[in-house]
Amino acid sequence: MAKAYLVIRIKGQADVPYWANTTLRLLKLEKKYRAIILPVKENTDGMLKKIQQFVSWQEVDLSTTKELLDKKGRRSGYKKITPEDISKAGFKTINELATSLSEGKISMTKIKPLKPWFALSPPRQGFKRSTKRLYGQKGILGHNKELTTLVKRMM
């Protein structure tokens, strides 16, 4: 059973209906290629299903979470995360923070000095599948089982 999802916004801001924009804003996915780690709750699945034409998600593992925090984690002022920021958030190490995030014990919005999202780059060597179709239809949107390989190319 999944404990946390890694959600990435794939589509941009143009031509997004109001209801989808509201949901994306609630999830802190205002811009293209933003990623969040979301604890799994019953309302999370509903929100993701609602906006599956704009985002891609997968269950997150510990190694991906740690790598995201190391490479793309930011604090206010868009500076890299330091050990002092992690101790301010109430964790001893970055491993401890990554573990609690990937197990869904804490959400990114609750960790105070850190930004609640990760800003990723477009993937190196581009997308291998269509960005306009769902995963089951040879695309990358919706629940994507190969998202971790894509994320590694986006970091």
Averaged over 85-95, what is the pLDDT? 89
Residue 147 lies in a domain: yes
Residue 100 lies in a domain: no
Residue 1 has pLDDT above 70, yes or no: no
Residue 83 lies in a domain: no
Residue 16 lies in a domain: yes
Distances (CA, A) of 34 to 1, 18, 24: 25, 19, 11
Averaged over 94-100, what is the pLDDT? 91
Residue 85 lies in a domain: no
Averaged over 59-64, what is the pLDDT? 92
Residue 67 lies in a domain: yes
Residue 135 has pLDDT above 90, yes or no: yes
pLDDT for residue 11: 93
pLDDT for residue 77: 87
Residue 68 lies in a domain: yes
DSSP string, 100-117: HHHTTSS-GGGSTTB-SS
> How many separate domains does the chain show?
1
- Determine contact, residues 70/82, Cβ cutoff 8 Å: no
Averaged over 81-102, what is the pLDDT? 90
φ and ψ at residue 83, rounded to 5 degrees:
-60, -30
pLDDT for residue 66: 92
Averaged over 2-18, what is the pLDDT? 92
pLDDT in tens, 19-46: 999 999 999 999 999 999 999 988 889 9
Give the pLDDT band (50/70/90) at residue 108: confident
Residue 29 lies in a domain: yes
Averaged over 47-52, what is the pLDDT? 93
What is the average pLDDT value for the chain, to the nearest integer? 91
Note the pTM of the prediction, 2 decimals: 0.91
pLDDT in tens, 120-134: 999 999 999 999 999
